Structure 1
Amino acid sequence: MEQEAMYLVKHAKTAKELRTGLSVLLPKQHGLTNAGTGESLGVSIATILRMQKEIRQRVNGTTEQKRKWGGRRRQLMTVEEEKAFLEPWVAEAEKGGVLIVPPIHKALEQACGRTIAPSTVYRLLARHGWRKIAPDTYHPKRDVAAQDDFKKNSAKQWRNQREKTPQTYRYE
């Protein structure tokens, strides 16, 4: 283990490799504790132990692949299962163009066998290309002519209010 650390120190190309080699050499050759080694290298004791473990695994030949961050470690269903779960809802929504969340939420809770936050359904839909669309400013099936006629011919209520307001409250 000491030889591997010495080789790593001599051929280090990065500061991390140098620190990893020194994490073994300083305690062995100079009798430093892990706390002292960490202080001299500018890292925590946990990092020193991790570096020593890395060298120990290299020597033993039991290096394990480094795990990557991210992923869906707490997933309820795989992506394929989610797609299969959403198929009937999507087919129904394509006819009407709207996905309603409460029934999907209830069905998802039954499929998983536990309570689930409503935000999970929204994230599920977002993963599969559905998103919440802002409502229109007007009804899509409106009668434009009838609306324009109403705007032009409706009585303005604020004109009538002025005549009903007593003289003492008028601001002129």
Structure 2
Amino acid sequence: VGNMHSAELIAPLVNLSVHSIYKIVERYNIDGASALVYKEKGGRRRFLLTIEEETVLFSSLENLASKGLIKTAHDIRKVIEEKVGQAVSDDYLWDLLHRNGWKKKMPRPHHPKRSLEDQADFKKNFPKIWSPLQ
């Protein structure tokens, strides 16, 4: 096949680049056959609580919330920081809540000078069909 190296022959057969073939051979030469075992990437490498610890923590948080002892994220932060033993960031707190299916729920804001009577009157007298002024 002319001047082709074996890595250039193997690369298209295994759908890898020539550089990747050289890196695999290099790892094999250094570590032996154990270097060819695929290690999955991703996952939780840095975490403060395991998934099991999080589920136990959130079940206790649900009990506290049902008793009315937890009303805000600040209350949740206190409980989590006691469990973890260090301060946690806002980002960690919201990711933790999201990961465990909790959502930020609060009533819609209203104007402090609103009038419920005026709102009810407006609803009763609002025209059903809107037509632009002519």
Q: Tell me whether the two structures share a fold, i.e. TM-score over 0.5.
A: yes
Unmatched tracts of structure 2, length 5 or more: 122-134
Query: Residue in 2 aligned with 1:26?
Result: none
In the alignment, is residue 113 of structure 1 matched against residue 71 of structure 2? no
Q: Contact 2:55–2:100 at 8 Å: present in 1 too? A: yes
1:53 equivalent in structure 2: 26
State the Cα RMSD in Å.
3.5
Q: Does 1:103 align with 2:72?
A: no
Q: What amino acid sits opposite 2:87 in the alignment?
A: T
Paired residue total:
112
Query: What amino acid does structure 2 have at the position aligned with 1:53?
Result: E
Check the 8 A contact 1:93/1:99 in 2, yes or no: yes
TM-score, structure 2 as length reference: 0.60
Deviation at 1:65, TM superposition (A): 3.3
The answer as to 2:52 corresponding to 1:86 is no
Structure 1: give runs of 5+ residues left out of the alignment.
24-49, 139-145, 153-172
* 2:47 partner amino acid: Q
Is residue 148 from structure 1 mapped to residue 117 from structure 2 by the alignment?
yes
Rg larger for: 1
> Is contact 1:20–1:51 with CA below 8 Å preserved after alignment?
yes
C-alpha contact 2:8 2:18 (8 A) present in aligned 1: yes
CA separation in 1, counterparts of 2:77 and 2:47?
Answer: 16
Question: Match of 1:62, SS?
Answer: helix
User: 1:19 & 1:117 partners in 2: Cα distance?
Assistant: 41
2:40 to 68, 75, 82: 68
Identify the residue that residue 133 of structure 1 maps to in structure 2.
Answer: 105
Q: Distance in 1 between matches of 2:16 and 2:100?
A: 40
Shift of 1:19: 3.8
Q: Tell me what 2:16 maps to.
A: 16
Cα distance change of structure 1 residues 64 and 71 upon mapping to structure 2, 3 Å threshold? same
Q: Percent identity?
A: 23
- Corresponding letter in the other structure for 1:124: L
Give the counterpart letter for 1:91 in structure 2.
Answer: N
Task: Tell me how far 1:73 sits from its aligned partner.
Answer: 0.9
Shift in alpha-carbon separation, 1:99–1:64, aligned structure 2, 3 A? farther
